Amino acid sequence: MKRKRRYKRGYPVAVLVGFEDDYAIIWQVFSHVAKLSIRLKLEGKRTDERVLYNFHESVVSALKPVLKEGVRSVVVTAPMKTTYATDFMNHVRKHHRYLIQSKSPNRANFAELVGSADDRIKVAELVKTKEFSKLIAETTSEEADHIINVLEKHLYSTGDNTVVLYSLKEIEDIVYDRSKLNELGTVHLLLTDRYLSDSKSKNRIQRLLQISKNKKVKTRIVNAETPAGTRISQFGGIVFFSTPTKQRAD
């Protein structure tokens, strides 16, 4: 009997929200694969303002748990010659402005793209396009720059619950110790894609990433070629830091 191949999804890259005529579908996009998260049905006609409002609210509500995991890049798609994506973004700008405000700690980076995310095959084709890759590069760069700015503010802080670590061993010690982790405020784990690919301790790092996710550590893997990646590389390629609860950076 052949051993089943291990499912490899890689690290989280973005959230893809695809709008169709009567439903929306949300995908979590990883470096190796896209995973279906949820499908939300439009309960009524688009011409009914209340129905459309409730539909868009359901999409925002479904996005929040995914965004809380640390991914802040959102690509919104819809078929050609429709306004579905634009209608949703107008809803976000009007009713959830905190998600797009540049200074908001809860902001996300949204981008629009023409295309269908109706099924796994279409999504696979979509994420391979140059347009999608460009959007992801732009939004993740903005996202990483924002997180780095938060890090810079706390690098030399001596306040309570402020921790900055650059050693894999030190980071493991604090992440694996729930009592220590619970004493901190919001915690972030940043590493470059080059650090991950070149490391001789890939299994240790993958275990750290998985446990960090389980413990709600906001984890991001950053392109080493970006300004944010360059800054993280100056710390050795990996950095863990916390911010006091009153100054949450999530």
Look up the CATH number of the domain holding residue 192: 3.30.1330.30
Rounded to the nearest 5 percent, the helix, strand and coil shares of the chain are 45, 20, 35
* Pair 156, 62 in one domain: no
- What was the pLDDT predicted at 160? 57
* Pair 55, 29 in one domain: yes
Sheet holding 12-19, edge to edge: 34-41, 23-30, 12-19, 73-78, 109-114
Amino acid at 198: D
The DSSP result for 63-94, as a single string, is HHHHHHTT--EEEEEE-TT--HHHHHHHHHHH
* Pair 96, 178 in one domain: no
Q: Contact 110/74 with Cβ under 8 angstroms?
A: yes
* Pair 194, 231 in one domain: yes
- What domain range is 31 assigned to? 12-128
Report the predicted TM-score, pTM, of the whole model to 2 decimal places: 0.68
Residue that terminates a domain, selected from 128, 157, 189: 128
Residue 167 lies in a domain: yes
* Pair 155, 115 in one domain: no
Question: Could you give the 3-state DSSP secondary structure of residue 40?
Answer: strand
- What was the pLDDT predicted at 45? 93
Structure tokens given for 181: 């982790």
Residue 84 lies in a domain: yes
Q: Would you give per-residue pLDDT tens digits along the chain (250 residues)?
A: 445 444 466 677 889 999 999 999 999 988 778 888 899 999 999 999 999 999 999 999 999 888 877 777 899 999 999 999 999 999 999 999 988 876 666 678 898 999 999 988 999 888 888 888 887 777 766 777 777 887 887 776 655 557 888 899 999 999 998 888 878 877 888 898 889 888 888 889 989 988 988 888 888 888 888 888 888 899 899 999 887 654 444 4
Look up the CATH number of the domain holding residue 101: 3.30.420.60
Residue 141 lies in a domain: no
Listed residue (206, 207, 218) closest to 250, CA to CA: 218
- What was the pLDDT predicted at 193? 87
Q: Contact 147/155 with Cβ under 8 angstroms?
A: no
Phi, psi at 236, each rounded to 5°: 105, 0
- Domain count of the fold of the chain: 2
Amino acid at 64: K
Question: Could you give the 3-state DSSP secondary structure of residue 60?
Answer: helix
Between the alpha carbon of residue 129 and those of residues 24, 114, 122, 125, the distances in Å are 21, 11, 11, 7
d(CA 18, CA 137): 19
Residue that terminates a domain, selected from 61, 95, 128: 128
Phi, psi at 180, each rounded to 5°: -70, -45
* Pair 105, 177 in one domain: no
* Pair 83, 151 in one domain: no
Structure tokens given for 108: 């996300």
Residue that terminates a domain, selected from 102, 128, 154: 128
Residue 52 lies in a domain: yes
* Pair 82, 158 in one domain: no
* Pair 48, 111 in one domain: yes
